[in-house]
Amino acid sequence: MRELEEVIGYRFQNPGYLREALQHSSYANEARHGVRSNERLEFLGDSVLSIVVSEYLYTHYTHLPEGDLTKYRSILVCEKSLCGFARTIGLGQWLLLGRGEENTGGRDRDSILADAFEALIAAIYLDGGMEQARAFILAHVEPQMASASFSHNRDYKTALQEVIQRNREEKVTYELVDEHGPDHDKSFTVEVHLNSNVIGRGTGKSKKEAEQRAAKEALALMGL
């Protein structure tokens, strides 16, 4: 388990927490009496993960309303994301599984990996406190937030509008400045204007896509 500690960048004071985080229920059921599965840690880790991600989104995305914050949190803490985080650290190879799960590919099953990742979060939290858990979580979450898959789910036009509407004197408009290509493969270029000033420009296969890209560029210029 020392190798796993090196991978995750955390050394446990109580290695028992780490071992428990790796013990799947199938292993606990087959092992001697007193061996506990990682299910209780998974329960705690889910809550720690949620508060850390919620706090980060609340602090760094101050222009987003509650609905969007909830949407982005759900993207970051879903099974797909969690099993992806688990795979980046090769968590599957350290799992303790029962014979049935071992023989049926449980070591690489999405649900088992996602649950084990949450259990690992709880183990770090119990052993080292919230700051250690936060550092571990954000090391995985921040790159995900910067990824194309996360960006694809963001409504940049709405986000830009929410920033601008803080000042009622400001007005955002979108202007189509170029359209070219055959009908089956057109390309559109749109500028987004703040009053009379161009603050972003985007090109896409539809006007909607071009507007989103223009708004994204405008937000990037604002540091958002």
Assigned token pair, 218: 């405008």
The answer to whether residue 101 is catalytic is no
Q: Cα–Cα distance between 169 and 191 in angstroms, integer?
A: 20
Q: Cα–Cα distance between 168 and 170 in angstroms, integer?
A: 5
What does the CA dihedral 33, 34, 40, 41 come to, rounded to 10 degrees? -120
Among residues 101, 115, 118, 191, the one annotated as catalytic is 118
In the block, residue with structure tokens 């969007």: 68
Q: Cα–Cα distance between 176 and 156 in angstroms, integer?
A: 17
Q: Which residues have a Cβ under 8 Å from the Cβ of 41 and sit 6 or more positions away? A: 17, 20, 21, 118, 119, 120, 122, 123, 126
Among residues 46, 102, 155, 209, the one annotated as catalytic is 46
The answer to whether residue 185 is catalytic is no
- DSSP sequence for 134-168: HHHHHHHHHHHHHSHHHHHT--HHHHHHHHHTTST
Judge whether 204 and 210 are in contact, CB under 8 Å.
yes
Judge whether 42 and 118 are in contact, CB under 8 Å.
yes
Q: Cα–Cα distance between 188 and 175 in angstroms, integer?
A: 11
Catalytic residue annotation: 46, 118
